[in-house]
Amino acid sequence: MSDSRKRNRPAGFATRAIHFAYNPLDYHGALNPPLFMTSTYAFENARQGGDRFAGEEAGYIYHRVGNPTVSILEKRLAELEGGEAGLFTSSGMGAITAAFWSLLQAGDEVIADKTLYGCTFSLLQHHMTRFAIKTRFIDMSDPAQLEAAISDKTRLVYCETPANPNMRLVDIAAIAEITRKHEATFIVDNTYCTPYLQRPLELGADLVVHSATKYLGGHGDLLAGAAVGSQDMIDQLRFVGIKEMNGAMISSMDAFLVLRGIKTLHLRMDRHCQTAQKLAELLEAHDAVEQVYYPGLASSPFHELAKRQMSQFGGMIALELKGGMDAGRDLMDALDLVTCAVSLGDAETLVQHPASMTHSTYEPEERIKHGFTDGLIRISVGLEDYDDIADDFTQALDGLGK
């Protein structure tokens, strides 16, 4: 991207997603950032190697701590999220564990929203406890609950918004204010929105994490994760969390593919959001449907908050059918174009059953307490023609109970 002094205003989101942090003329004119596939880097001499290890000279050492293709991607996402620095990992769980393992120690307490992606929930509920790190789950959509629960021991406050799978929202600015007063760190999982729809750092969060497997990659062909925050915090995640603890560095091939994915993020998200809005309205009007959870619907208790903190309402929908879980299973089996699969943010429309799939890490009795029923079905709205998606849901819903 050319020198910003030549322009009289900052470049827009799409332009930065396509160009930021890469100048083809630095790489033989290659229009696309080159894919550097190397595990290690030659030093000019022994002294240079030592200086790089000591942090006294900038430069690459070994893939687990940095790679030129990955660096371009990290700078680009940091720019789009409005953060100082970024980090990419081999999966979303790699980014989340890098954050927890580098920022927490025994005796610390985490306060988390009650609805989280199944493996994040399990990590906090079952595994961090083995290292004497306790998590309190609260309904963070009510900031007063954080005010009441937060204490000197609280080191981290954590949420997803919208939450996977039930589309509850958290007021990022309100939670950030309370967290800051108590000198804790506020982490927001921004997987469902991406920075195109929501920028938590601008609303006061300290760190954003992602499953880049989803919308950032966008094509269901890779696993990746990311974190964006201050340079200090990202250094801690990289040099402690990744380098010395989980080793979850992204492969350069996957970084190359995420760079390609991000170039069309704005187009894909616009389409996901447009189709999801129309589909949510169609589903809400169907006789077989008990409830649709989508923040773009006027019936959502989060509609006003969504209008404030998101630029559009996203591509994820959850719903419950009048026939409960059995009807949900029948619906998933009756769909033809729409595929039954976990993951989200792909070109293909996907449906899945959280209680038995993505969120089966919650005990049956925990599910209601954490905000979702056994009958809940989750839809990741894809990029196919709306009419074809709508026809498939209509035929499957019409056929229920026949």
Say whether 189 is catalytic: yes
- Closest to ligand 3LM by CB, 144 vs 253, is 253
Q: Which listed residue (76, 168, 214, 243) is catalytic?
A: 214
Question: Of the residues 108, 189, 254, 330, which is catalytic?
Answer: 189
Which of 149/342 has CB closer to ligand 3LM? 342
117 carries an active-site annotation: yes
Q: Is 278 a catalytic residue?
A: no
Residues that bind ligand 3LM (CB under 6 A): 91-93, 117, 120, 160, 164, 189, 191, 211, 213, 223, 225, 342-344, 358
Q: Which is nearer to ligand 3LM, 178 or 223 (CB)?
A: 223
Query: What are residue 206's DSSP bridge partners?
Result: none
Report CA torsion sign: 243, 246, 249, 251. Answer: positive
**Which is closer to ligand 3LM, CB of 125 or CB of 358?**
358
Catalytic residue among 22, 60, 117, 196: 117
Q: Which residue is nearest to ligand 3LM (CB)?
A: 92
* Residue of 16, 64, 136, 322 marked active site: 64
Residues with catalytic annotation? 64, 117, 189, 214
